Structure 1
Amino acid sequence: MFPESSAYFSVPHPFDAYISLWPAELPLPDEAQLQAMKSKGMQLMGEVKALEGDCLIHLRQMGDDGRAIVEYLKLQSRKIDLVLQHLLEQEARDGEHCIGLQFGGSGVRLQSQITLPRGSLVKLLLFVREEILSVLCMAKVTDSREDPDSPGSYLLDMEYSVITEAEVEQLVKASLVIQQKQLKLRKVSR
């Protein structure tokens, strides 16, 4: 799917994505400008995820004594994440809705009703519901072709151009969790 130089693998999994063509005359935003482009809900979700990650790392160092606390805090965190996800889903979305087919820490594959030329830059909004993950980044179209399985649709491969390191980590973690679930399902179905 992506060039061999990609640092991360990707996992097939459905998700929602919204793309907006970035004007060629505008420079790409830096990470701080990208952060400012996020909705309040996305900013809040990012802060909660960062705080949660820091806290759980410290608690895991407690060993067996902290295990029950860690599990309880994971449950509380999951409840907060679900509420935030619901709020994010209520926000208005700009851009063309696409069906996400595959994602990872380096890029995505989308099914779209529109085609974009290779090299096009887009503002990309990703929502991976099962992992309560939302990401806003800039991406470059690396491949665009007709979808042989869906006439009138196109497959767009994109690699991230501007994305925060924290969001790359979240995408990598989510892809690993989803891959693990897929492997368990395959094992059970055999």
Structure 2
Amino acid sequence: MSNEKSELFAEFFQIQESVNVVVESIESALVPTDADALERDIPPLFRLANEVNTLEQSALRPLRLLGETANELAHYLSLQSRKIDLILSHILMQESTDQPNERCQSYGGSGFTLRREQPMEVGQYVRCKLFLEQEAAAIYCYGEVIEVDTQDDGCLHKILFATIREQDQELLVRASLHAQTRQLKKRHEQQREN
């Protein structure tokens, strides 16, 4: 793996949490070269789901500043939005049933790790769909295999995002921080029980 790509992968925190992914090998010529080309390539349902998620974040923020009553309203609206997110997430998962669904080992703002029995080639480009169940969101992007580590139980691939929307990268960063918070709370609860 080139030093530069390794540094890019390490720029963002990786959370050890498994999420559903669909990874399809493609030719490098099929990777969009700019944000507009990526935007045209993203299936409408993925755009809709992420737009709903983004709108929720921006709409609830001002309500939280209005005081106690507004907090209750914000909580109620957040629950309603969560229901819509869950429905969209389920529909997105159904759209990818024709492709093998796998689970990544970790993810973050720069990429993810994926274990497979057979190795992919370093330098192989892939079309990626990541399904973040806890965030009820889905990411559509492109990546490049930058490292393959052969182990007893298969091959661990590091996949660096080659083309991803900025708002999707921010969503992955937020999701990894939320996952870390969940893991820390769970660990704290387990320590209290012991």
Question: One fold, TM greater than 0.5?
Answer: yes
Alignment of 1:6-85 (within 5 A): 6-26=10-30, 28-85=32-89
Instruction: Map residues 63-142 of structure 1 onto 2, 5 A cutoff.
Output: 63-93=67-97, 95-142=99-146
2:186 corresponds to: 185
Partner of 1:160: 161
Pair 1:171-2:172 in alignment: yes
The answer to whether the aligner puts 1:146 opposite 2:150 as a matched pair is: yes
Deviation digits for residues 89-129 of structure 1, max 9, x if unmatched? 22135655432110011110011233222222111111122
User: Larger deviation: 26-35 or 43-52?
Assistant: 26-35
Alpha-carbon distance between aligned partners in 2 of 1:26 and 1:168, rounded to the nearest angstrom: 20
Cα distance between partner residues in 2 of 1:48 and 1:28: 24
State how far apart, in whole Å, the 1-side matches of 2:42 and 2:32 are. 15
Distance 1:25 1:80, change over 3 A: closer
SS at match of 2:18: strand
Count of matched residue positions in the alignment of Structure 1 and Structure 2:
186
2: distance between equivalents of 1:58 and 1:165?
23
Cα pair distance change 1:141/1:128, threshold 3 Å: same
Equivalent pair of 2:31/2:142 in contact (CA under 8 Å): no
The one-letter code of the counterpart of 1:81 is D
Task: Name whichever structure is richer in helix by fraction.
Answer: 2
Verify the 8 A CA contact 1:60 1:70 in the aligned structure 2.
Answer: yes
- Give the conservation status (yes or no) of the 8 Å contact 2:104–2:115: yes
The one-letter code matched in structure 2 to 1:88 is: L
Deviations 1:138-168 (A, max 9, x none): 11111112233x2xx3211011111111101
CA distance in 2, matches of 1:139, 1:42: 17
Deviating more after overlay: 16-25 vs 156-165: 16-25
- Unmatched runs of 5 consecutive residues or more in structure 1: none
Taking every aligned residue pair, what percent have the same amino acid on both sides?
30
Q: Which amino acid aligns with 2:61?
A: I
Contact kept, 8 Å, 1:97 with 1:112, in 2: the verdict is no
* Counterpart-to-counterpart distance in 1, 2:130 and 2:178: 17
Kept after mapping to 2: 8 A contact 1:99/1:112:
no
Aligned alpha-carbon RMSD (Å): 2.0
* TM-score, scaled relative to structure 2: 0.86
Counterpart contact for 1:9–1:104, Cα < 8 Å? yes
